[in-house]
Structure formats: C-alpha cells, structure tokens
C-alpha cells in the first residue's frame, strides 16, 4: 500500500530492528523515516539505508523522543519492551500529534510472550500445553495479570488506545533465534543468557527436568510478521477495533528448555568453551544465583498466533535446531570468547 506519512522508527541498529528497518524502507518508499541511534558511527549507516533523519541519542533522551513522536503518523518500537519512560515519552508525543491533527497516529509496539509465562520451575505445564494462550480470545488478552512480565508497559499502551489518541498494536514474540539481516552483529536475549550461564558454571544447566516449553521464531520470520501487522494497522486507520483485538502473538515452533540448552551445550563443548556437553539439572533457586532472570528460561509460555495466521503469515524457518550452532558462534564472538 502507498503510505506517504512520517514514520518514527526505534531499534534500527538492533537484532530484530535492523532487518525490519530495511523491510520498512522497502515497503514504504514514499514515507519519511526518522530514527534514533546511540552511536555516532551508526548515523551514516542508517541514513544510507534510507532514513531521512537520524537523531543521535538514547532512550533516556525523552524530550527528543517525544518531539519525534509528535511529528509521526506511524511509530514503530522494535527496540524495548519494558522501558516505561521511553513508552511514556512516545505516548506523550503521539497525544500531541492527535491534538494537533485530529488523527490518531499508529503505534506498533514490541512486547513478548513472557507476558503469559507461568510460574513453573522447569517442568511442563500439561494444562497450559493443552490450552495455549490464543490471541483470538480478547478476554484472555484483557485478563493477563497486571504483575506479568511486560504487562505494565502493555497496559500503558492499551490505556492510550482506549483513551482514543493513539491506534496501538502490540506484537508479542517468543524466544527469538537465528541470524539477523540488520546492520550490525546483534544477539537475541534468551540464547545468550543460557550461554552465559553455562560459561559461568562451566557446564550447561537446566532448571529441574527442563521439560518446560516455550514457543520460538526465527528473527527474519519475526520481521516478516511485523511487516504484515504494520500493513494491517495502516489499512485499518479510521476503523474502530478493540484494543485487545490488536494484540498479536508470534510463534512458529516450540522447544523445551532441556532441548535448547542441550543444543547450546553441544555447540559450546565442540568449541572447547566448556568441558562437557552434558546438561546439569539445578533448582530455580540455584539458577537464580547464576542469573537473576533465570525464571525466564525455566517456565512455560505457550501461545497460538491466530491473528497473525489470519494475515497470511507463513514462516519459512521451521527447524530451530539447525540455527543454534551458528547462534552460539555469533554470541561467543561478540563476547570475545573465540
């Protein structure tokens, strides 16, 4: 579709955001694209890739962020799920835009399926497996507990959408893996976490029996999902859609933590980083002394991406195990371990 407005894009130098930025530029060649980057060296790179304006700054520069958001017809946050100050600045800018133009800017935000993670300590939740969280169920989206991971930010966004000054869409990815086509070498979150835990303990570890299960998606399939969701959001402008009908799960496959940790252990051991490929079982309390976010690689998070499938999303990377060795290689290089 043709879109000639202004896009304020956050995350252009990131793991997900880099590859998605290139897709946004290609999809909306007539749009004016503004982004913000931290490093001076990244300014020319991102500008050469199609940004019309590159603001040098950080997410703590809330005045810059608010101003850019106040001039945008579309805001894409592919950078951070949990920064309340960042989101508050974006929403404040969006509200200014609405008050000045009478038109709601579209806001596409990144959350995560950790928002529906249970409190299991490494073991499979059979009830959750039998009835995963389906985004087609608006009541289920609405009733996610306020104390859930990412939920405080999601609630700010739902509230702004309900208030009527922004048209907000939330994308909820699971474990993300694979090589990004972004501008700079970047890594996901959970795989580097598991890798660093293995290095710290000199052996890969899993909480209890490791049968707890999460969904996953390749970073490039995730970027394609965003393209579809952004297009849906833009084509729906002016429509009245429930805030909770604009929450999109993303998932293409599943893994147990034991299987994922085992693949990481094999990759680390063959490179001589740890002395064994065997995986050691520990308690959540023990794991939490190794990494404070160990619970996020010990619980269950199981979803159904009904809304995304309805948009025609067809992921092409369906064998997550095939990418883990390369992921480990990339993370080790970024850590200076090889």
Q: What is the pLDDT of residue 100?
A: 97
User: How many CB atoms sit inside 10 A of residue 50's CB?
Assistant: 17
3-state helix, strand, coil in the chain (%, to 5): 45, 15, 40
Residue 318's contacts (CB-CB under 8 Å, 6 or more residues apart) are: 252, 253
Q: What is the pLDDT of residue 267?
A: 99
CA distance 323 to 330: 11
CA distance 331 to 178: 11
The answer to pTM > 0.95 is yes
Q: What is the pLDDT of residue 2?
A: 86
Q: 35-49, pLDDT tens digit by residue?
A: 999 999 999 999 999
Q: How far is CA 288 from the centre of its chain?
A: 23
- By residue count, the chain amounts to 338
Q: 3-26, pLDDT tens digit by residue?
A: 999 999 999 999 999 999 999 999
Residue 314's contacts (CB-CB under 8 Å, 6 or more residues apart) are: none
Which runs of consecutive H residues, i.e. helices, occur in 29-83? 40-48, 62-70
Q: 203-243, pLDDT tens digit by residue?
A: 999 999 999 999 999 999 999 999 999 999 999 998 999 99
Q: Tell me which residues of the chain have a pLDDT lower than 70.
A: 1
Q: What is the pLDDT of residue 1?
A: 63
CA distance 34 to 37: 10
């Amino acid at each position: 579709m043709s879109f000639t407005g202004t896009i304020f894009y956050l995350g252009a130098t990131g793991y997900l955001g880099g590859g998605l930025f290139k897709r946004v530029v290609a999809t909306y060649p007539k749009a004016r694209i503004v982004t913000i980057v931290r490093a001076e060296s990244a300014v020319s790179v991102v500008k050469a890739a199609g940004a019309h304006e590159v603001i040098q700054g950080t997410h703590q520069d809330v005045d810059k962020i608010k101003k850019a958001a106040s001039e945008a017809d579309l805001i894409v946050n592919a950078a951070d799920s949990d920064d309340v100050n960042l989101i508050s600045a974006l929403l404040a800018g969006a509200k200014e835009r609405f008050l000045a133009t009478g038109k709601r800017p579209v806001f596409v935000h990144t959350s995560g399926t950790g928002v529906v993670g249970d409190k299991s300590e490494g073991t499979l939740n059979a009830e959750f497996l039998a009835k995963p969280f389906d985004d087609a169920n608006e009541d289920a989206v609405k009733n996610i507990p306020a104390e859930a991971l990412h939920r405080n930010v999601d609630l700010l966004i739902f509230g702004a959408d309900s208030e009527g000054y922004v048209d907000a869409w939330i994308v909820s990815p699971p474990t993300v893996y694979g090589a990004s086509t972004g501008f700079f070498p970047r890594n996901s979150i959970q795989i580097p976490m598991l890798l660093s835990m293995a290095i710290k303990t000199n052996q890969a570890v899993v909480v209890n029996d490791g049968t707890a299960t999460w969904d996953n998606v390749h970073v490039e399939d995730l970027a394609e999902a965003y393209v579809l969701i952004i297009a849906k959001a833009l084509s729906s402008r002016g429509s009245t859609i429930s805030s909770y009908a604009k929450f999109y799960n993303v998932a293409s496959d599943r893994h147990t933590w034991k299987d994922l940790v085992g693949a990481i252990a094999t990759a680390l051991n063959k490179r001589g980083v740890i002395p064994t490929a065997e995986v050691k079982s520990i308690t959540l309390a023990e794991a939490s002394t190794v990494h404070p976010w160990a619970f996020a690689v010990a619980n269950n998070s199981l979803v159904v991406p009904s809304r995304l499938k309805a948009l025609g999303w067809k992921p092409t990377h369906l064998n997550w195990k095939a990418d883990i060795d390369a992921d480990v290689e990339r993370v080790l290089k970024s850590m200076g371990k090889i």
